[in-house]
Amino acid sequence: MKTYLKDTEATEQFGAKLWAELPSKCLIFLHGDLGAGKTTLVRGFLRAAGYTGAVKSPTYTLVEEYTVGGRKIFHFDLYRVADPEELEWIGIRDYFDQDCICFIEWPDMGKGFLPEPDRVISLVVDGLGRSIELGKTT
């Protein structure tokens, strides 16, 4: 399913819809170039969950953790991962063993160390907005 999102607000609204749809344990891969709206989508998801704090890209921290509405959410950004083996050093498998939702930006950087996702979401800048496509669901 491919959808056009006209602006940042529409991207956040799309993320908000995911809050109602995703199970409490889910792995989502987010694909898209820099500035495509991956973190914006996660922010919309978190706002729908009731989170009111700042939502920033975990580009430098690698992972941001949120607990909202009794659910645990992890937002990863693997853009700066030089070697996928680094994910073993941070104990990434321990995150996936929890009852949580994990969003992973730049999942290709973790190839070989990440399990298969439950959902794949691709964002592409399209004029002033972006196109979003939902992939695999299990």
Q: How confident is the model at residue 121 (pLDDT cuts 50, 70, 90)?
A: very high
Dig out the tokens for 86 from the structure: 């680094």
Q: What mean pLDDT comes out for the span 93-105?
A: 94
Residue whose pair of structure tokens reads 């190839």 in the numeric block: 111
- Cβ(24)–Cβ(102) under 8 Å? no
What mean pLDDT is predicted for residues 56-85? 90
The whole-angstrom separation of Cα 92 and Cα 74 is 11
Considering only CA atoms, give the Rg of the chain. Answer: 14
Instruction: Summarize pLDDT for 106-119 with one digit per residue, the tens.
Output: 999 999 889 999 99
90/51: higher pLDDT: 51
| Parent domain of 66 | 2-137
Tally of structural domains, the chain: 1
**Which CATH number does the domain housing residue 128 bear?**
3.40.50.300
pTM given for the model: 0.92
DSSP one-letter code for 12: H
DSSP SS3 for 128: coil
**Mean pLDDT, range 9-29, rounded to an integer:** 94
User: In 3-state terms, the chain is what percent helix, strand and coil (to 5)?
Assistant: 30, 35, 40
Collapsing DSSP states into helix, strand and coil, what is residue 15?
helix
